C-alpha cells in the first residue's frame, strides 16, 4: 500500500512540477526517474490505475486514502477524459517523461505509448451506479462475466481470474453507497443459474461481513475472490448428482462431499490467484467445532477465519435460494436455524455480526431478500 502511494506521489510531483522546468532540465529528469523507480518497485508485469465512481483503484484494489496527490491525479485524468492508465514492465524513461508532459499540459491529448496504455473504464458507468441504489448489485454485464467464467472453467481451461477480479472490484466500489446487504443479493431466476448466482451472493455477503469487521484493501479483495470460487470443486461433480431432485443416496452424498477437496486442488494450481481461494474452497463446509467435511485437520488447526465468514454466507444463501429439490426458506427461519448452530457450526462472534448486518437499520421494511409472490411466478 505504501509503495503504491509512493508511486502516485512521485508521479504527481513530477506532473505538477513539469510546467516549471523545460523537459531537458535536470530537476525534471530527476523527478521522472524517481517516478519510474517507484513504479518499477510496484510492478511485476503491469501497474494499473483506474477511476471508478470518482475513486482511484490501483491494481484492482480501491485506493481510498490516496490523499492530495491521488485527488489531483483524478482531476487531471478527468480533464483529459481518461479513466484508466496501464503501465507495462519495460516502460522507458523517455516514455515516462513524455507521458508526464502530456498529462501536465493543457491542450495536449493523452495518448498511449508502447508501454503505457490509456483508456476509459466502461464497466461501471454512472448509470449503473444509480441502479445500485434500488436494485441488485449484479448488473447484466457482470452477470454475463460470471456466467462466462463458470461455463468456461473446466480442468482443461484456465480460469479467467482477471474477469472475476473486475467483478469483485465492482462490488467493493459499490458498497460504499451504503445500501442494505439484502438489496444487493440476486434472486435465482432459474435452476441452472444457481451456480453463479450463488457464487456472487456468497461473495457479496462475505464482503459485507469482512468490511464490517474492518478488513480492507488486499485482504478484502482476496476474500471476495475466494468467496466467488468457494464451490468451484462442483465443476468436477456430475450434473446428475448436482441437479438431482430426489434425495441423494450414500454414494452420491459421498461424491458431493468431495467438492471442497476438488476445488482446493484445482484452485491451488492457478497462478496469480490468492492463496485464500484454495483454503476457503477446502474449508467452507467445515464447522466451527471441527465437525463437518472434509475431516478436521490432524494437527488440530482450526478453520481459517475467512472460511468461517464464507461458511456463514454460504449457508444463508443456499437456504434462501430455491433449488430443484426444495423451496426457498425465509430469512427469519434461516436466522433461527443459524442461531441454533452458534458456537458449534458457526463462529458465534461472526454470526452475531452477520445477523446484525442483515437487520441493520437500512434493511428495515425490506426484511426479506426473497422474491415476491409475483417474482416467484417468473422463476
Question: Which residues make up the interface to Fe ion (CB under 5 A)?
Answer: 231, 314
CB of 195 to Fe ion, least distance (A): 9
The minimum distance between CB 4 and Fe ion, in angstroms, equals 33
Smaller CB distance to Fe ion: residue 102 or 231?
231
Kindly tell me which of 62 and 278 has the beta carbon lying closer to Fe ion: 278
State which H helix or E strand residue 273 sits in: none
* Ramachandran angles phi, psi of 174, nearest 5°: -80, -30
In the complex with Fe ion, which residue's Cβ is closer, 132 or 312?
312
Closer of 102 and 345 to Fe ion (Cβ): 345
Q: How far is the CB of 256 from Fe ion (least distance, A)?
A: 9
CB of 277 to Fe ion, least distance (A): 13
Write down the residue that cell numbers 480533464 correspond to: 79
Smaller CB distance to Fe ion: residue 202 or 358?
Answer: 202
Smallest distance, Å, CB 132 to Fe ion?
Answer: 24
Q: 165 or 314: whose CB is closer to Fe ion?
A: 314
Q: Which alpha helices (DSSP H) does 55-139 contain, by range?
A: 67-79, 93-104, 126-134
The Cα 300–Cα 186 span in angstroms is 37
Written as nine digits, the cell of 76 is 487531471
Q: Which residues pair with 326 in a beta bridge?
A: 323
- Shortest Å, Cβ 313 to Fe ion: 8
> Can you list the pairs that 72-77 forms with residues at least 24 positions away whose Cβ atoms lie under 8 Å?
72/12, 72/15, 72/16, 73/8, 73/11, 73/12, 73/15, 73/49, 76/15, 76/103, 76/104, 77/51, 77/103
How far from the centroid of its chain's Cα atoms is residue 247's Cα? 34
**Is there a contact between 232 and 153 (Cβ–Cβ < 8 Å)?**
yes
In angstroms, rounded to a whole number, what is the distance separating the alpha carbons of residues 160 and 110?
A: 30
Nearest-approach distance from CB 101 to Fe ion, in angstroms: 52
Nearer to Fe ion, 57 or 138 (CB): 138
Amino acid at each position: 500500500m505504501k509503495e503504491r502511494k509512493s508511486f502516485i506521489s512521485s508521479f504527481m510531483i513530477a506532473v505538477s512540477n513539469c510546467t516549471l522546468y523545460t523537459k531537458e532540465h535536470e530537476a525534471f529528469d530527476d523527478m521522472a526517474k524517481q517516478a519510474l523507480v517507484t513504479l518499477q518497485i510496484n510492478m511485476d508485469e503491469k501497474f494499473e490505475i483506474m477511476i471508478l465512481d470518482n475513486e482511484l483503484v490501483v491494481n484492482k484494489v480501491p485506493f481510498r486514502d490516496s490523499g492530495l496527490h491521488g485527488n489531483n491525479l483524478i482531476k487531471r485524468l478527468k480533464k483529459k477524459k481518461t479513466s484508466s492508465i496501464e503501465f507495462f514492465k519495460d516502460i522507458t524513461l523517455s516514455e515516462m517523461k513524455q507521458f508526464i508532459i502530456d498529462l501536465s499540459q493543457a491542450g495536449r491529448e493523452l495518448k498511449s505509448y508502447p508501454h503505457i496504455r490509456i483508456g476509459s473504464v466502461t464497466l461501471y458507468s454512472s448509470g449503473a451506479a444509480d441502479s445500485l441504489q434500488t436494485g441488485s448489485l449484479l448488473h447484466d454485464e457482470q452477470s454475463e462475466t460470471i456466467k462466462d467464467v463458470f461455463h468456461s472453467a473446466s480442468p482443461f481451461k484456465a480460469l479467467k481470474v482477471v474477469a472475476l477480479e473486475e467483478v469483485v472490484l465492482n462490488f467493493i466500489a459499490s458498497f460504499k453507497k451504503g445500501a442494505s446487504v439484502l438489496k444487493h443479493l440476486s434472486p435465482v431466476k432459474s435452476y441452472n443459474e444457481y451456480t453463479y448466482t450463488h457464487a456472487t451472493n456468497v461473495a457479496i455477503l462475505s464482503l459485507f461481513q469482512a468490511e464490517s469487521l474492518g478488513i480492507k484493501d488486499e485482504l478484502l479483495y482476496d476474500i471476495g475472490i475466494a468467496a466467488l470460487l468457494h464451490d468451484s470443486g462442483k465443476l468436477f461433480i456430475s450434473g446428475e448428482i448436482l441437479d438431482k431432485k430426489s434425495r441423494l443416496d450414500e454414494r452420491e452424498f459421498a461424491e458431493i462431499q468431495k467438492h471442497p477437496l476438488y476445488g482446493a486442488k484445482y484452485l491451488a494450481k492457478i497462478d496469480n490467484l490468492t492463496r485464500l481461494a484454495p483454503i476457503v474452497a477446502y474449508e467452507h463446509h467445515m464447522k466451527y467445532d471441527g465437525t463437518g467435511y472434509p475431516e478436521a485437520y490432524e494437527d488440530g488447526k482450526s478453520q481459517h477465519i475467512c472460511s468461517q465468514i464464507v461458511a456463514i454466507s454460504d449457508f444463508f444463501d443456499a437456504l434462501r435460494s430455491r433449488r430443484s429439490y426444495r423451496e426457498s426458506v425465509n430469512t427469519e427461519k434461516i436466522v433461527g436455524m443459524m442461531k441454533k448452530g452458534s458456537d458449534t457450526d458457526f463462529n458465534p462472534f461472526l454470526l452475531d455480526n452477520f445477523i446484525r448486518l442483515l437487520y441493520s437499520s437500512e434493511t428495515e421494511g425490506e426484511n426479506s431478500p426473497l422474491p415476491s409472490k409475483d417474482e416467484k411466478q417468473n422463476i
